[in-house]
Amino acid sequence: MKLGVNIDHVATLRQARYVGEIDAHNAEPDVLAAAEICERAGASGITVHLRADRRHIQDADVFRLRERITTKLNLEMGNTKEILEIALRVKPDDVCLVPENRREVTTEGGLDVVGQLDALRPNVSRLREAGVRVSMFIEPSREQITASHALGAEMLELHTGAFANAQDSDQLAELARLRDAAIFAHSLGLQVNAGHGINYSNIALIRGLPHIEELNIGHSIVARALFTGFEHAVRDMLAAMLQP
C-alpha cells in the first residue's frame, strides 16, 4: 500500500495571506518545498486538486510540481474544459476526476459516473490518448465501479468519507462496503485507491482492506505537520499504514 500525500492545504495556508496567482519566490509556505519533503520522507506520489475557483492550488503550482518532483504527480480535477486543457499541457502521471461544488468546504462525495457517462467519455479519451492514467473518485458502489470500467478508466479512488464520519457499527458497515467495492473493482482489473478523511486513528481499519494500492491523504498529515514537521508527519503515517 503506497501513500500519495495531498498538499492542497499547504496552499490553503499560503492563500490565506496571498490572493490569486502568487510569486513562487516570495509567498510561503512553498508548495514545492512541501512536496520535496514528502518525497524525502517516503511518499510515493504528490496529489493536488486544481479547482475551478483556485481556492488553494494555483496553475503555476501544478507546472512547477510537474517539473521538479521525482515520484509521480496525481492531479485531481473537475470535468471542465478549462482544467482539462491545463491537464493536457501539464501531463501529470495520473488524473483523478472528482465532483466539484463551489460552496463546499472540501469534496463532499463521489463523482456520479453513472449519471455523467456522456459528459465524461470524451475527456477520459483525450487524457488516455495523451498518456495520462485516469481515475474516478467514486462512492463504494458496484454501479459506479462498473460505469468507471466502461469508460476506460484504469483506476478508481474509493471515497472513504462516509467511513471516516461514521462511528461504531455504522463505521463497520461502511468498512464492509469499501471491502466489497475493492474486491469487485479488482476483479474487473482496475487499480484500487482510496482517500478522504483518513487519519492516524482510522488507518488501523483502512489498512486491512484488500487490493488497495494507494491511499491519498492530505488534511490529517498537514494538521500533524504543524506540530511535528512535515517529514515526521509523513513518516508517522507510513509507519501506521505498515503496522500488522
521538479: which residue's cell?
Answer: 68
Q: How far apart are CA 148 and CA 91, in angstroms?
A: 21
Of the residues 9, 39, 49, 159, which is catalytic? Answer: 49
SS3 of 41, please? Answer: helix
What amino acid occupies position 223? A
pTM (2 d.p.): 0.94
What amino acid occupies position 13? L
What amino acid occupies position 121? R
Output the pLDDT for position 23.
Answer: 61
Of the residues 39, 56, 76, 214, which is catalytic? Answer: 76
Domains held by the chain: number: 1
Pairing of strands 133-138, 94-97: parallel
Does residue 171 contact residue 207 with C-beta atoms inside 8 Å? no
Does residue 224 contact residue 236 with C-beta atoms inside 8 Å? yes
Helices (H), 73-133: 81-90, 117-129
CA gyration radius for the chain?
Answer: 17
49 is annotated as an active-site residue? yes
pLDDT tens digit at each of 244 positions of the chain? 999 999 999 999 999 888 755 665 678 899 999 999 999 999 999 999 999 999 999 999 999 999 999 999 999 999 999 999 999 999 999 999 999 865 554 556 799 999 999 999 999 999 999 999 999 999 999 999 999 999 999 999 999 999 999 999 999 999 999 999 999 999 999 999 999 999 999 999 999 999 999 999 999 999 999 999 999 999 999 999 998 7
Output the pLDDT for position 208.
Answer: 96
Cβ within 8 Å of residue 142, ≥6 positions away: 180, 181, 184
Domain limits for position 14: 2-242
463521489: which residue's cell?
Answer: 110
User: How many other C-beta atoms lie within 10 A of the C-beta of residue 242?
Assistant: 10
Output the pLDDT for position 17.
Answer: 86
196 is annotated as an active-site residue? yes
Output the pLDDT for position 26.
Answer: 75
CATH number, domain at 121?
Answer: 3.20.20.70
Q: How far apart are CA 155 and CA 137, in angstroms?
A: 9
Burial readout 6-20 (b: 16 or more C-beta within 10 A, e: otherwise): bbbbbbbebbeeeee
Residues paired with residue 73 on neighbouring β-strands, in sequence order? 46
